[in-house]
Amino acid sequence: MTAMKWHADPELLSSYTSGTLDAIAGASVEQHLSHCAECRAAIAAHTDLAGLELAWAGVRDTIETPRFPAPIRLARRLGLPDSSAVLLAATASLRTAWMVSAFVALAFATLAAILTDGENLAPFLLVAPMIPVLGVAAAFSAPQDSLETLVVTAPYGRTRLILTRTLAVLATSLPVAVLLGLLVPGPTWVAAAWLGPALTLIPVLLALSSFVGPYPAAATVAVGWCGVVGVSVRGLPATWPVQAEQQVIYLGLAVLACAVLTVRAGRRSEIGALL
């Protein structure tokens, strides 16, 4: 019997929709249904439409709604608006893999300081300020950003996107870094003193990004900070990069970077237009 003359009887259709047919019979019925409009119409009587609609709704939700990273899901439970959650959803530095790798690097730097009894703080002072800086650089919206189209068409300026992502990176990276800093032997103020250069390098990064883009700016900032920390291993105290004299310089540099960024943004109406 050809597919044009044969039609599935109600019992066969019922078995097909309930999933009780074996693989060969099920494949045969499915192939027939793809060519027979009469049987496709008849199968509706044997289909659980409510369950089917529920299944399709689940498929649509999975496809259309991004699965937020763990920090964003936690923030939503604490009251973060859905609009801000969507803006943060594609932030690379809020994803589990990035955060784990960053904190593992910081943990090894902390361990290195512990093993030297605090006499060699260079690994910790090198890594700790760079974790939030590199996180902010990774948070920039790239052309391949999965939400780039949404960002462009949504009624949110890029300034809001950049600042929101920056604050989110700081909120997720700084607390753990501070806690690890408390484990570092030596003066307890070092656990907080590294925040000075960290919070300075971020506006410096944003200001440089307005000229050369985020990734060259991140590389420049990283090389510069490596040079500062490298100086401390040449006969200077281990805490030299974060001592009070240097903190004053960092503060001045941060003010200058903010001024440059403000002037640049004023000429282009918003920070996001520069990046």
Query: What is the SS3 assignment for 103-127?
Result: HHHHHHHHHHHHHCCCCCCHHHHHH
Structure tokens at 108: 């090894």
pLDDT of residue 3: 44
Sequence spans of domains, the chain: 10-64, 70-274
Neighbour count for residue 10 (Cβ, 10 Å): 11
pLDDT in tens, 87-139: 666 666 666 677 777 888 888 888 888 887 777 888 888 898 898 888 888 77
Share the mean pLDDT of the chain.
78
CB 95 within 8 A of CB 160: no
Rounded-to-integer distance, Cα 67 and Cα 61, Å: 10
Relative orientation angle of helices 122-138 and 214-232, to the nearest 10 degrees? 170
Residue % of the chain over a pLDDT of 90: 11
Q: What pLDDT does residue 59 have?
A: 66
Would you state the torsion angle of the CA atoms of residues 214, 215, 221, 226, taken in this order, to the nearest 10 degrees? Answer: 160
pTM: 0.63
Q: Give the model's confidence band at 270: pLDDT under 50 very low, under 70 low, under 90 confident, else very high.
A: very low
The token duo for 228 is 């500062």
- Which residue bears the tokens 């040079």? 227
Query: Residue 2's pLDDT is what?
Result: 46
Weakest-pLDDT range from 9-18, 34-43, 45-54? 45-54
